[in-house]
A = this chain, B = another copy of it.
């Protein structure tokens, strides 16, 4: 049975959604959960659920890293944090993967330093799934593990993204695009033009440059970019979606007629919200570390936690890292 270490103290509403999501996951999937955190808090939350025969255990961690902690400082100072302990469980082979909805920077730092990087990987990458217009999912990476990437790093991101996509979304030959400012090969900046040439020669199913709008068009499955661009892209999507829903809410409250209309359409709005809800897609895996590490959004609810556990378990089961190593040794870009 696959074992996932869940950082019970990470998210904005921890440990409630972490514990509830773990209970749901342990019930629905064939997975064992190690709930890592302050035992009293976790136990109190767990007591709210009926868990007599579920494979859930509590692993104590005395410290908590908050969203306001500086990632590198928190990593150095809070060595018994739930993030540290979860990462050590994976490092020591006591868990096959970890999940945290905590401070993204701190989780990435802990994963990079405690788990380490795969032999054939120079830089790790954070991969974010986006729902697309064709009803599928497109994955953007890197969304912020690194900046100032070199061309060979982006080629590694492409390979890792492809392996992750295959393992998680069941597509044997995902289409990989390079995020740029025009479709032609010559479009882009110095970095993307070099990456284009390398990807054309690689075994990756590279379909060429894509533009910002292709994050949602469904024209490609995996979209590769430097983490500076990817992080800005991710934050724009979050910000714009929130803005549009806020404006919609205000707009709908502006007259009695539209208030009545909004009430009648409630189901449709909820359906839409669910469709563009990241929580359905199971968090963002940090690819390239030794072990499986999935990072959830701070706002993760129980459903998001459950789905992220499913994704982490799936990646462990699919032997993600073995496959990444195999594919990368076949790709071998001269540095």
Contacts and interface: CB of A to CB of B under 8 A. Distances in A.
Interface string A234-247: 11111111111011
B235 A213 contact: yes
Contact of A265 (B216, B244, B261): B261
Nearest to A211: B235
A133 B239 CA distance: 10
A215 B258 CA distance: 28
Contacts of A272: 244, 247-248, 251
Given A213-B235, A228-B189, A267 B257 contact: yes
Contacts of A268: 248, 251-252, 254-255, 258, 261-262
Contacts of A148: 189-190
Contact of A181 (B179, B188, B228, B251): B228
A229 interface: yes
Interface string A255-278: 101101111111111011001100
A212 interface: yes
A254 B271 contact: yes
Contact of A133 (B212, B228, B246): B246
A83 to B, nearest CB: 19
A104 to B, nearest CB: 11
A231 interface: yes
Copies held by the complex: 2
Nearest to A252: B268
Interface in A162-190: 179-181, 188-190
A117 interface: no
A227 interface: yes
Nearest to A184: B70
A260 to B, nearest CB: 5
Central interface residue in A190, A233, A235, A257, by most chain B CB within 10 Å: A235
A211 to B, nearest CB: 5
Contacts of A225: 232
A280 interface: no
A51 interface: no
A41 interface: no
A268 B265 CA distance: 13
A236 B236 contact: yes
B275 A251 contact: yes
B263 A275 contact: no
A46 to B, nearest CB: 35
A217 interface: yes
Interface string A194-235: 000000000000000001111111000000010111011111
Nearest to A213: B239
Given A148-B189, A239-B216, A275-B247, A227 B181 contact: yes
6 contacts: A232-B232, A237-B240, A244-B244, A247-B276, A251-B275, A254-B267
Given A236-B240, A251-B271, A255-B268, 11 more contacts: A147-B188, A181-B232, A215-B239, A228-B229, A247-B275, A251-B272, A257-B267, A258-B265, A258-B268, A261-B264, A262-B268
